């Protein structure tokens, strides 16, 4: 669907769910390179900045997760926004609705504002970057909840899959913010007359730092969880080993006196049975004292 959402100092053409033929027609009408325009059809394209003749071509990705049980890929977590702009026009191409477009028009494209298409593009990128703020807070809270659950003695949950999923989400978002930072830098070098770009750079740097910290926290928590799980396994093995050490000599004694030979020492001895039980008790006591001295119990 193609519609003009602003007509004033310049024209803003918005295209939703584009088809190849439609994009080729737009390329012909606005003198854009057809191969560059067809990049808009690739759903997993990463953020970038390019020059296309007199036009500038930008791709950014806004956080917009699909309704899946565990979204973790770039396509699952974000939606692509492609932007072409010159001095007289701005073309935005995307598959999913972007509600903040109307907000930009209402807030910035009034009769009192004399914005250049580059200024509007900067604000679109700002809204796209700002969409990662909410997920950063959510992920930080999730890490805190899992950390509390892991260190709670009564907790028996398994968190490997959830921690891996969180780390994957953080990694994807951090990667996109790094690539968006390069887009913002290229935009800044292309035009230094827009002071709003510095605010955009500050926001992107802040979110990048937040995701870097969350990624480090998740990785550390995953390592701690694996260590705690290994420690619990070692404790179980320790208990089983102690039991086996106690019963191994007793089993040996019982095995000796359980052999069915006619001629055996002490076989007809009157006190053989109680003495055997007493010797077993002495063996258990000796093993117990030895374990205590070694501080294994």
Alpha-carbon span 243 to 255, nearest angstrom: 18
pLDDT for the residue numbered 163:
87
Looking at residue 123, what is its pLDDT?
92
d(Cα 151, Cα 15) in Å, to the nearest integer? 51
Using CA atoms, how far apart are residues 87 and 193, in angstroms rounded to an integer? 14
The pLDDT score that the predictor gives to residue 157 is 61
Residues of the chain with pLDDT under 50: none
Secondary structure (DSSP) of the chain: -EEEEEESSSEEEEEES--HHHHHHHHHHTT--HHHHHGGG-TTPPPEEEEETTEEEEEEEEE---S-SS--SHHHHEEEEEEEE-SSEEEEEESS--THHHHHHHHHSSTT----HHHHHHHHHHHHHHTTHHHHHHHHHHHHHHHHHHH-TT-----HHHHHHHHHHHHHHHHHHHHHHHHHHHHHHH----THHHHHHHHHHHHHHHHHHHHHHHHHHHHHHHHHHHHHHHHHHHHHHHHHHHHHHHHHHHHHHT---SS-TTTT-TTHHHHHHHHHHHHHHHHHHHHHHTT--
All structural domains of the chain, each given as residue ranges with its CATH number in brackets, are: 2-231 (3.30.460.20), 236-293 (1.20.58.340)
pLDDT of residue 81: 92
The distance from CA 206 to its chain's CA centroid, rounded to whole angstroms, is: 17
List the beta bridge partners of residue 61.
Answer: 80
d(CA 201, CA 137) in angstroms, rounded, equals 20
Phi/psi region, residue 151 (left: phi>0; alpha: psi -120 to 50; beta: rest), is: alpha
């Amino acid at each position: 669907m193609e519609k003009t959402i602003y007509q004033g100092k310049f024209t803003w053409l918005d295209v939703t769910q584009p088809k190849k033929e439609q994009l080729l027609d737009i390329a012909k009408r606005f003198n854009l390179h057809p191969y560059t325009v067809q990049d808009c059809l690739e759903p997993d394209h990463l953020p970038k900045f390019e020059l296309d003749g007199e036009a500038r071509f930008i791709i950014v990705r806004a956080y917009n997760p699909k309704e899946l049980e565990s979204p973790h890929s770039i396509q699952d977590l974000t939606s692509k926004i492609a932007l072409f702009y010159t001095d007289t026009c701005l073309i935005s191409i995307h598959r999913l609705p972007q509600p903040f477009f109307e907000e930009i028009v209402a807030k910035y494209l009034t009769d009192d504002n004399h914005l250049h298409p580059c200024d509007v593009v900067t604000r679109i990128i700002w809204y796209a970057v700002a969409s990662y703020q909410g997920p950063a807070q959510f992920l930080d809270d999730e890490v805190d909840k899992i950390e509390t659950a892991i260190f709670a003695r009564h907790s028996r949950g398994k968190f490997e899959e959830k921690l891996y999923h969180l780390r994957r989400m953080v990694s994807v978002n951090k990667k996109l913010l790094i690539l968006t930072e390069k887009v913002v830098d290229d935009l800044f070098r292309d035009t230094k007359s827009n002071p709003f770009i510095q605010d955009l750079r500050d926001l992107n740097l802040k979110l990048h730092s937040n995701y870097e910290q969350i990624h480090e926290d998740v990785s550390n928590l995953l390592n701690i969880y694996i260590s705690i799980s290994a420690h619990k396994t070692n404790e179980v093995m320790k208990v089983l080993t102690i039991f086996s050490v106690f019963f191994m000599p007793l089993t040996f004694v019982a095995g000796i006196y359980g052999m069915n030979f006619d001629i055996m020492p002490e076989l007809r001895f009157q006190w053989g049975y109680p003495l055997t039980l007493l010797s077993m008790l002495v063996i258990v006591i000796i093993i117990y004292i030895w374990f205590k001295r070694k501080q294994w119990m």
